């Protein structure tokens, strides 16, 4: 048994994220000197039901995107509210912070303020207990840790690439990998191959927000072809070694009750949108589809999930890491997997509950970064701790993403954790892989 340590001080500051925009960093110090630090991430294609990110709105600073109010809320309100609490009681601390805010969406204190402190508390507790963060989080969640399968951005569009392509992410899952490090090497190889292929065709190879390439193809089909060619040119068999995952981020395309795909030159009803994605899924080795439809289009989600029963159908904007919305999805059979983003929920214990709710219903879980990230590696440990099976970080190009990939390499080096492999992906078992 470890002895109790109590929170002695909490301090926050404004730092910058990977898009050069302000975000909240929080420090938590315990009475025995143990220390934790964490930073809140920030999304661009945000769901309307996400916990609320508090921004200053003062056009004189950072275009209104400053987070000085959220920082002041930590230093002036949350610090005094949680001082003296046992650091091991994450749930009690998160409840106090929610109560201090008093709204379900954390709009008064700001989910960015609450989350940074919540994560820093977990980091301080892990240091106090002298265990790696993933061990501490697994103890909190009563879960069995494993190394996750990465799902990685190769080509980008949507809100992450100046609307260059309609669909937001064309991702690779290295389904043939036998270990996390092998998976990472396959991904790196494919990412290099896609750059080479694009250069050969005279296409620009500038980076999108998550480090993916943004060829700006009009049609999704062209991006799918390039994905397959990139696998082949890396010496990987499409479908067997490397498969495609899509994040359509369809809420971003939904306007006046229709889906507007500028690149395709099409405006679709919900049923037509579903058919468009089905067609891509049938013609290419697609194993996972995220947000194929708008966050409120429940009926079409339900139909979509019933037509592709063996494909992983992931709710991001649909579920926003929220227990109630995940429960609705389970009841309506609207999907079979949940994207897990800490800042959509607002606290570490709330995120653990959301993941547990999804997994208890047989849903898959994909722990995910945001398009605005920092050097913080918390989600690497979280994905391992929860035995989530999958992680979505963005491409292998910029340090805010690589910090997480590299943290996973260090965890793997401990040599004790099994690799989830394809078993974490909905509809795939290890038996099928051999
Ligand atoms: P976001 O994108 O962080 O900009 O919301 C990530 C995603 O849609 O999965
Ligand atoms: Zn998404």
Q: Is 90 exceeded by the pLDDT of residue 165?
A: yes
115 and 186 fall within a common domain = no
Query: Span 200-218, mean pLDDT?
Result: 93
Out of 25, 127, 341, 373, which one is annotated catalytic? 341
Whether residues 262 and 375 share a domain: the answer is yes
178-188 average pLDDT score: 98
431 pLDDT above the threshold of 60: no
Q: What is the pLDDT of residues 116-164, one digit of tens each?
A: 999 999 999 999 999 999 999 999 999 999 999 999 999 999 988 887 8
pLDDT tens digit sequence for 354-409: 999 999 999 999 999 999 999 999 999 999 999 999 999 999 999 999 999 999 99
Q: Is residue 140 part of a domain?
A: no
- Which of these three, 70, 97, 130, is where a domain ends? 130
Cα–Cα distance, 52 to 344 (Å, whole number): 8
Q: How far apart are CA 12 and CA 199, in angstroms?
A: 44
What number is the average pLDDT over the span 332-349?
Answer: 98
In short, whether 370's Cβ falls inside 6 Å of ligand 1 is yes
Computed over every residue of the chain, the mean pLDDT equals 96
Structural element, H or E, at residue 19? none
Q: Which of 49, 156, 168, when mutated, tests ligand 1's pocket best, judged by the most ligand atoms within 8 Å of its CB?
A: 168
Question: Is residue 199 exposed (0-12), middle (13-18) or buried (19+ Cβ within 10 Å)?
Answer: exposed
CATH number at residue 392: 3.20.20.120
Last-in-domain residue among 96, 130, 164:
130
In a domain, 1, yes or no: no
- State the CATH number of the domain containing residue 23: 3.30.390.10
Q: Of 73, 96, 130, which one is at a domain's C-terminal end?
A: 130
Instruction: Give the nearest ligand 1 atom to 317 CA.
Output: 8
Same domain, 240 and 118: no
Residues 26, 154 share a domain:
no
pTM above 0.95, yes or no: yes
Asked if 125 and 167 sit in the same domain, the reply is no
At 415, the pLDDT band (50, 70, 90 cuts) reads confident
Q: Which atom of ligand 1 is nearest to the CA of 46?
A: 5
Residue 225 is assigned to a structural domain of this protein: yes
Same domain, 364 and 423: yes
First-to-last alpha carbon distance for the chain, in angstroms, is: 42
The count of residues in the chain is 434
Pair 241, 376 in one domain: yes
Does some domain include residue 135?
no
Whether residues 188 and 234 fall in one domain: yes
CA of 171 to the centre of ligand 1 (A): 13
pLDDT band at 1 (very low <50, low <70, confident <90, very high): very low
- Residues 228 and 287 placed together within one structural domain of the fold: yes
The answer to whether position 137 is within a domain reads no
Number of folded domains in the chain?
Answer: 2
Same domain, 43 and 171: no
Is 165 in the same domain as 118?
A: no
Residue-wise pLDDT tens digits, 257-313 = 999 999 999 999 999 999 999 999 999 999 999 999 999 999 999 999 999 988 999
For 425, the domain range is 149-433
Q: Are residues 162 and 123 in the same domain?
A: no
* Number of continuous H segments (helices) and E segments (strands) in the chain: 15, 14
- Residues 39-56 have pLDDT tens digits of 999 999 999 999 999 999
Task: Answer whether 46's CB lies under 8 Å from 37's CB.
Answer: no
């Amino acid at each position: 048994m470890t002895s109790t340590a109590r929170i002695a001080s909490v301090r926050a500051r404004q730092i910058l994220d990977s898009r050069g925009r302000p975000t909240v960093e929080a420090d938590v110090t315990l009475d025995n000197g143990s220390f934790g630090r964490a930073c809140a991430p920030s999304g661009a294609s945000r769901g309307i039901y996400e916990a609320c990110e508090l921004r200053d709105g003062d056009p004189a600073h950072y275009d209104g995107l400053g987070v000085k109010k959220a920082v002041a809320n930590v230093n002036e309100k949350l610090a005094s509210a949680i001082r003296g609490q046992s650091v091991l009681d994450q749930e009690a601390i998160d409840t106090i912070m929610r109560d201090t805010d008093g709204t379900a969406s954390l709009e008064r204190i700001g989910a960015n303020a609450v989350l940074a402190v919540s994560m820093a508390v977990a980091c301080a507790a892990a240091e106090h207990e002298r265990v790696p963060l993933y061990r501490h989080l697994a103890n909190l969640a009563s879960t069995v840790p494993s190394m996750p399968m990465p799902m990685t951005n190769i080509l980008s569009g949507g809100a992450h690439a100046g609307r260059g392509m309609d669909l937001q992410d064309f991702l690779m899952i290295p389904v043939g990998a036998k270990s996390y490090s092998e998976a990472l090497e396959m991904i790196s190889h494919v990412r290099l191959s896609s750059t080479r292929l694009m250069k050969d065709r005279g296409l620009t190879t500038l980076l999108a927000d998550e480090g993916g390439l943004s060829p700006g193809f009009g049609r999704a089909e062209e991006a799918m072809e390039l994905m397959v060619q990139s696998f082949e040119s890396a010496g990987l068999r499409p479908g067997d070694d490397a498969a495609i995952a899509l994040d359509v981020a369809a809420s971003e395309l939904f306007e006046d009750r229709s889906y507007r795909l500028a690149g395709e030159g099409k405006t679709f009803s919900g049923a037509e949108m579903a058919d468009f994605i089905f067609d891509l899924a049938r013609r290419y080795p697609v194993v996972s589809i995220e947000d194929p439809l708008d966050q409120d289009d429940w009926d079409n989600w339900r139909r979509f999930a019933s037509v592709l029963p063996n494909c992983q159908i992931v709710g991001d904007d649909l579920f926003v890491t929220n227990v109630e919305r995940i429960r609705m999805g389970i009841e309506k059979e609207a999907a079979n997997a949940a994207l897990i983003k800490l800042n959509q929920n607002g606290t570490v214990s709330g995120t653990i509950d959301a993941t547990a709710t999804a997994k208890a219903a047989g849903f898959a879980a994909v722990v995910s970064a945001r398009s605005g990230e920092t050097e913080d590696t918390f989600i690497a440990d979280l994905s391992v701790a929860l035995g989530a099976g999958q992680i979505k970080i963005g491409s292998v190009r910029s340090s805010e993403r690589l910090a997480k990939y590299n943290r996973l390499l260090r965890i793997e080096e401990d040599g004790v954790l099994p690799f989830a492999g394809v078993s974490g992906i909905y509809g795939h078992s290890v038996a099928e892989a051999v």
